[in-house]
Structure 1
Amino acid sequence: MSFGKRLAKSPAVTRGIGGIAHGWLARCQRRIDWERRGEDELRAALADGPILLVLRHSRLMLGPFHWPAWAGDLSTLHDTSPIARIAGDTHRRRGLTPVAMSRRLSNLAMSRMVMERLRAGASIGITADGPLGPAGEINDPPLDWARISGRPVFFYAYATERQHRAQSWDRLLLPRPGGRGAVVFRPWEGAIPRKADAAARAAARASMKAGLDAATAEADAMLGLPPGP
């Protein structure tokens, strides 16, 4: 393994860059005037146990800052790439429980880990299209974990007036301090049966995509912005 790769996997490097990233995001969070929607519905759902929180990969940067303190533990799932481990470090600094999910794990092994966290009372946060896309789509894990667990699904999105967009596959939203911001939590009105055939899975996938798209567009619309990735 090259020196660069060893350095990228160094826990000390991860913590150092994670600290810098957390400091910048915390500054953005403090200096943005936020409007929030959907927390009453979220609170009512959490009174009955943990939930699955689904979001777009492009809207993940400030997610740890928007999970309410009263909402209990949130296990955020990320892969083992250097950038994902840095993101996990920022989540840990916010009091969440990041869980590294190797791409080498089988779907069954990942599902078992998720079910263990849910049984422990932790909600699960997952990007619908992560870690590698296709952007804006619904990959299998949110569907599978909603089907197996039977827990409610909520969508989360945020938007900011002042922002950059990364030149990445997901056009990652990079917030800037100042201006207004919007946070949205919305429940999924659909469902997926525990024994879902191909048609039921396709219908649930389309319904989940429509719900996540609507929540994301709502956050943009709150600021008078056109719908973005």
Structure 2
Amino acid sequence: MAKRRPTWTRRKAEALADSRAVLGSAEALIARRLRRVHARTDWTLEGWDALCEAAAAGPVIFAVWHGRLAMTPWMWDRSWGPIWSVTSHQRPGRIVGGVLGRFGWETVRMHDTRRNDRGTLTLARAARAGASFGIACDGPIGPARRMSSVAVDWARVTGAPIFMWSYSVERYSTLPSWDRLIVPKPGGAGRMVWKRWGEIGRRTDPAEMEVLRARLEADLDELTDGTDRAMGHAGPIDRA
């Protein structure tokens, strides 16, 4: 059966949803809520000192699960230097990029299925200029907690160390999305964890890169699940 062509009303509605006025309002609302959550949560920070030491020596690469993106604005201190994130060209990705921009992050949009030569060149220039990177390792379309090779690839190219990062909170809800995105609520306690994972040599061969990718996936799972347990949850809160 042939696909139905979008109606005029639907096209206008989609154009409105993609307008800067609508996207900007959504970004401002989300950023305001995240600031409120951060300010009204009693945070415990684990591994922050190790990150400070690494940041003093140069850029780092963060490995994060997509379901834990909400609190990433506090993953890095912007006074240490620029940090970049890759976002999708799809509407949710553009909103995420806009929200991060309100916290001083730089973002580059990548297509989910097409070549991204221009975006890759932008990131390469940023890396040469000493930027750090935050990578949602199972984004932008999943499957959830299935790690792509992006983090280990960029670590090999740049020589920057990989830091795993995650957070958990007492009070939260989850979105009915592929990643079960955690939406923290104000109040209660929270925990952010940074853990240095290591560096990858420039001459690492493809077989070893796959071994490292699988190891990083398992280690980030363990870190994230352990953060949930430390907050008193019986299991991973994005898998409930």
Normalised by the length of structure 1, the TM-score is: 0.91
Pair 1:214-2:188 in alignment: no
Distance 2:185 2:154 in 1: 34
Any conservation in 2 of the 1:53–1:155 contact (CA below 8 Å)? yes
Name the structure 1 match of 2:121.
Answer: 112
Matches for 1:178-189 after TM superposition, within 5 Å: 178-189=187-198
2:44 to 35, 39, 46: 35
1:53 to 50, 62, 66: 62
Distance 1:197 1:103 in 2: 26
Distance 2:76 2:189 in 1: 18
The number of residues matched between the two structures is: 228
Pair 1:73-2:82 in alignment: yes
**Residue 154 of structure 1: how far off its partner (Å):** 0.7
Matches for 1:37-186 after TM superposition, within 5 Å: 37-103=46-112, 106=115, 109-186=118-195
Normalised by the length of structure 2, the TM-score is: 0.87
Distance 1:213 1:104 in 2: 26
Q: Which runs of 5+ in 1 are unaligned?
A: none
Distance 1:222 1:183 in 2: 11
1:11-66 residue CA offsets vs partner (Å, 9 max, x unmatched): 22111111111111111111111001111111111122111111000000111134
Q: Aligned with 1:54: secondary structure?
A: strand
Aligned-residue CA RMSD (Å): 1.9
Name the structure 1 match of 2:3.
Answer: none
Pair 1:202-2:210 in alignment: yes
Distance 2:234 2:128 in 1: 39
Q: Aligned with 1:185: secondary structure?
A: strand
Distance 1:74 1:226 in 2: 34
Q: Give the number of the structure whose alpha-carbon radius of gyration is greater.
A: 2
Distance 1:69 1:124 in 2: 12
